[in-house]
Structure 1
Amino acid sequence: MTESEIREALGCLRTYALIAQDTATGPIRMHALTARAVRETIPPDALRGIARTAADAILSLWPEHDHHDRPLSASLRTNTMQLDNHTRPALWQPTTHACISRVSGSLSAAGLHHQALAYELEIVECNIRAHGPDHPDTLDARGNLAGTFANAGRLHEALDLSRQAVADYERVLGPDDPGTLATRNVLVMACASAGRIEEALQLSLRVLADHERVLGPVDLGTLDARNNLANVYATAGRVRDALELREEVLADYAFLLGPHHPSTLDARNNLAFSYHDAGRVRDALELWEEVVAEHEHILGPHHPRTVDARSNLATSYFDVGRVREALDLRVRVLADFERVLGPHEPGTLNARSNL
């Protein structure tokens, strides 16, 4: 079907008020009853192909990074869930469609960790029913779930699941599969977050060596492993090692992904922490002020990462004796987290504790 034929068909549907579109490039809306009538005319043997074609279209519209168009990303999340609800198991056979995991990643990127956790628990169960426990799609889903448990503050569950996920990856796909390596990275941070610092340090060194051997020194997965090692150094109190490695990691992220990528912003934030830990409070303050400004410009003033960066800046204000500014900023941070995430997300709870 050509573009002109599609536009002609859409024009016909608008004429009969079967769809609504505010502008020529705006989103197309359809009443639920109209959508139901359309679904009921689809022959059962055609449903899977149509559903997966629709999922392909959704995925093609998704911004590379959600912060490029947050309203669109939120709309695509909703559309994917509705498509799956009405056509299941079409998006799960013969393999799980990529838009399914894109939803969970989008929820996490928005800081909605509890929603992401609930969704990923469902993803794991659906993958097991569709493919069995050892299918690569199931393994990927369980690895992602382990990371989301950690993001949601459920550290012991993250640790237990990441251990099991690594063992399953190694058994099914082998020790050098990229999925195995990525899940070991999750295990490193789960160990560190759960206070198992020495185990995290030894594992992180092995994981980095494996990444360099299998993927090479300039692969993004290898850079993530180096970033994790720097974080473990910081947690272990190896301040100088963490600072030196974080400076290298920041330069490499900026080179590979550009200065405005979220991973680069996170690396700058981590380096500010290392300046703080090293007693370089003025350097930390200057860098955190830059980090907050960059987050506001790139992610927007209300993104959870931006709010978290403001919380770090408030800590830096305390360090240099600017107590009134620190208190005012922490009040703002708590209000922002409550409005953006709700009262029970980890970020909100931490902000309340800090205040």
Structure 2
Amino acid sequence: MPVDGAAAAGPSSPARVRVSGEGAVGAGRDISHSAVGEGSRVEHTEVTNQVAGGTVHGDVYQAENVTVNQYLPSSAPGPVVRPVRVGTVPPLASAFQPRPGLREEIDRARERHATVVLTQVLSGGGGVGKSQLAAAYAWQAHAGGVAVLVWVNAAESAQIVAAYATAAQRVGAPGADGQDAEDDAGAFLDWLAVTERSWLVVLDDLTDLEGAQRWWPRPPVGSNGRVLATTRRRDALVTGSGRAVVDIGTYTRTEALEYLGERFTAADAPHLLDDQAEDLVEALGRLPLALAHAAAYMINDDVGCTAYLGLFTGRASRLAALLPPGADTDGYGRQVTTSLLLALDAAEHREPAGLATPAIRLAAHLDPAGHPDTVWATEAVTQYLTAHRTVSGASGPVTADQARAALRLLHHYALLTHTPHDSNRAVRLHALTARAARETVPDSETPATVHAAADALQAIWPEHEHTARDLTVVLRANTDTLADHAGDLLWHPDGHPVLFATGRSLNSTGLFGAAVSYWQRVAAAAERLRGVDHPDILLTRTNLAHSYRQAGRTGEAIVIDERVLADRERLFGDDHPHTLNARANLAASYWRAGRTGEAIVIEDRVLADRERLLGHDHPDTLRTRANLAASYWQAGRTGEAAGLLERVLADHERVLGHDHPDTLASGANLAVSYWQVGRTGEAIGLLERVLADCERLLGHDHPDTLAAATRVRRWRIS
């Protein structure tokens, strides 16, 4: 009844390689799977003997099954040439995970291209282990005897030039005279392109892609050279010239759990890996950097997964306290928040200047799993970006095109992911990136950020939800996330409309149990924050009663409906639309409870009042007439019900259109009335039409579709 309301074969004997530095790599293991002693860093300035079988300064490393011919040239033996090492390769982290799936993808790209770019695309930027993967390949190349290994901290182009100039001197590149760093760097690039010696250049944390374009090593003539680069950027500048982009995401769940298990076992604290470990790695987003900091905290304080999870999810907790850099023995050296948002300053100074920070702060309050990019074309978002732009002197309001450009800018710097073809979840960001961004919002700006996000969601909410079911699912999820982050802010100055749209959507989708739980929470918040007579309370109670009614809990619905009616008569009078709605809802609850006579009395009064006050064709009048006909039918007055329902269906088709949910409902009700009075052919024909419309508009799994399908099958065999 309608209701208001990983390697190629090496030499025959294992290579023996020595490395300088504090910690020795464990003997007998593949370099890509082993860890340098905790806290050590190996300075690769030079190695003083031949590649395999010789001795060098430092402890001995016994390497088995390492890739050698991948890096060594196939030329005949000649004079001994000292390997060249420039830069500092980071040690592999404690409990380093080899990530075979990713390494296989990287190696496949190596087979297809001269060079490989490691870039994080899917997981929102820092902390996914790009540098660790590159370091694993560098250590493997070192163990395999690569002739030239250059590791560059490439955040600035000047660092690349300096490293190349040093390398040029070490390899004796023609033209490198030590007088001009850029000339020497160019000479090194020329040497790489023609040398027969094996080489590996790693550009780690490549940030200034524009300034670095001339310093990309050119593809070598042979297959003896390789470039690895790690970067947060993911725009056109990382592609081309034989470069292949490999997306680096977070750990798999298995890798994350294995990481924690290995860390805790090595620390003689296996008890910390309790039955909440899976939930914890998911809460941390399986982000390698976050897992490293969290494991260090847990080991230092002897806190198990369950207890740490409670701390981490606590509303008052902050990342700086729970993931402190000082606790981490792997020497990442900075807070997770800093790592996650490292590229934000660079993005802030790109066009459109000053929009990256307010844009990511707004996105951080929405569902990390994604929100529609149409949010960024709303007036609510453009006005928010205009008011919170971080550069001075900008004139004029931010346009929808500029808002989208800010979104794309954040995407290029891997601070979020924008995939326009995924219309409903086009904008995603890692949950920890979102949390880091939220924790940077000044308290004075949080209300405006929250309300802008809420206004934008409300602005794109479809008028007729049955025409965009997938979209409304996403909007409900985003509203839930926003409400969780906002606390009470969405109740000031009044309950935000998006809160009510979410609850109504649950009812209209047939998720009645979820609707009851939702409206119970909303009603409790309204009663806590508003006076007893505030309209928000009456509205939430009305919606809670409707959810009870739809869920079959009619007794609870009646109690609330009677209270709401009394309050609205007292506050607004008998003829106010709010009062008429309350009276009609009470009649609907009586009808559900089988108190048909009482329902008819009330509906007769409501119909007369609505015809008098609103007119005969007002949607509320039409709905009341349909409810009265349903009551006639339930009372056994089937002839009167059929006649009235024929009028109702005609009026709905004329006023609301054939695809309106109320039109479908009135058609179904008329079909039932026809069946009751023996007009079986007309009943089946009409209900088959309603069923087809429900399948088209609501989907095959909607409760109304299922009910119509069941009834059609039953009638056909009767």
TM-score range, shorter chain: 0.7 to 0.9
**1:184 aligned residue:** 583
- Indicate which of 598, 611, 614 corresponds to 1:215: 614
Structure 2: distance between partners of 1:28 and 1:304: 31
Is 1:206 aligned with 2:605?
yes
**1:17 aligned residue:** 414
Q: Which amino acid aligns with 2:524?
A: E
- Indicate which of 646, 649, 663 corresponds to 1:247: 646
Q: Which amino acid aligns with 2:501?
A: R
More contact order relative to length (CA 8 Å, sep ≥ 6): 2
Contact 2:408 2:418 in 1 (8 A): no
**2:688 aligned residue:** 289
**2:496 aligned residue:** 97
**1:349 aligned residue:** none
Is 1:87 aligned with 2:486?
yes
**1:5 aligned residue:** 402
* Structural mapping, 1:279-318, within 5 Å: 279-318=678-717
Structure 2: distance between partners of 1:318 and 1:161: 42
**1:171 aligned residue:** 570
Contact 2:558 2:589 in 1 (8 A): yes
Contact 1:226 1:249 in 2 (8 A): yes
Query: What is the total number of aligned residue pairs between the two structures?
Result: 319
**Structure 1 range deviating more: 40-49 or 83-92:** 40-49
* Structural mapping, 1:113-124, within 5 Å: 113-124=512-523
Aligned with 1:108: secondary structure?
helix
Structure 2: distance between partners of 1:306 and 1:175: 37
**2:657 aligned residue:** 258
Structure 1: distance between partners of 2:470 and 2:698: 13
Give the alignment's TM-score, normalised by structure 1: 0.87
1:10: Cα distance to partner?
1.2
Percentage of pairs with the same residue: 41
Contact 2:407 2:418 in 1 (8 A): no
Residue-by-residue CA offset, 1:130-152 (whole Å, 9 max, x unaligned): 21221111111111111111100
**1:42 aligned residue:** 441
Structure 2: distance between partners of 1:23 and 1:52: 24
- Indicate which of 150, 154, 160 corresponds to 2:559: 160
Residue-by-residue CA offset, 1:242-296 (whole Å, 9 max, x unaligned): 0011011111111111101111011100000000111111111111111111111
Structure 1: distance between partners of 2:501 and 2:575: 25
Contact 1:140 1:179 in 2 (8 A): no
**2:34 aligned residue:** none
1:239: Cα distance to partner?
0.5
1:24: Cα distance to partner?
5.5
**1:193 aligned residue:** 592
**2:625 aligned residue:** 226
Q: Which amino acid aligns with 1:9?
A: A
1:25: Cα distance to partner?
6.6
Aligned with 1:44: secondary structure?
coil
Residue-by-residue CA offset, 1:3-42 (whole Å, 9 max, x unaligned): 2321221121111211112226732111111111121122
Structure 1: distance between partners of 2:655 and 2:542: 25
1:213: Cα distance to partner?
2.1
Question: Which segments of 5 or more consecutive residues in structure 2 lack a partner in the other structure?
Answer: 1-397
Which structure shows the higher helix fraction? 1
Residue-by-residue CA offset, 1:29-64 (whole Å, 9 max, x unaligned): 111111111211222122222211111100111111
**2:534 aligned residue:** 135
Structure 1: distance between partners of 2:470 and 2:513: 20
Aligned with 1:117: secondary structure?
helix
Structure 2: distance between partners of 1:315 and 1:177: 44
Structure 2: distance between partners of 1:4 and 1:221: 40
Aligned with 2:428: secondary structure?
coil
Q: Which amino acid aligns with 2:497?
A: A
Q: CA RMSD in A?
A: 1.3
Q: Which amino acid aligns with 1:170?
A: E
**1:31 aligned residue:** 430
Structure 2: distance between partners of 1:154 and 1:102: 22
Q: Which amino acid aligns with 1:256?
A: V
Structure 1: distance between partners of 2:678 and 2:495: 49
Structure 2: distance between partners of 1:212 and 1:222: 6
Structure 2: distance between partners of 1:110 and 1:197: 27
Structure 2: distance between partners of 1:268 and 1:120: 30
Contact 2:523 2:541 in 1 (8 A): yes
Question: Which segments of 5 or more consecutive residues in structure 1 lack a partner in the other structure?
Answer: 320-355
Q: Which amino acid aligns with 1:15?
A: H
Structure 2: distance between partners of 1:176 and 1:44: 45
Structure 2: distance between partners of 1:305 and 1:213: 32
The structure whose Rg is larger is 2
**1:145 aligned residue:** 544
1:66: Cα distance to partner?
1.8
Give the alignment's TM-score, normalised by structure 2: 0.44
Aligned with 1:273: secondary structure?
helix
Q: Which amino acid aligns with 1:125?
A: A
**2:26 aligned residue:** none
Aligned with 2:427: secondary structure?
coil
Contact 1:93 1:130 in 2 (8 A): no
Structure 2: distance between partners of 1:83 and 1:31: 15
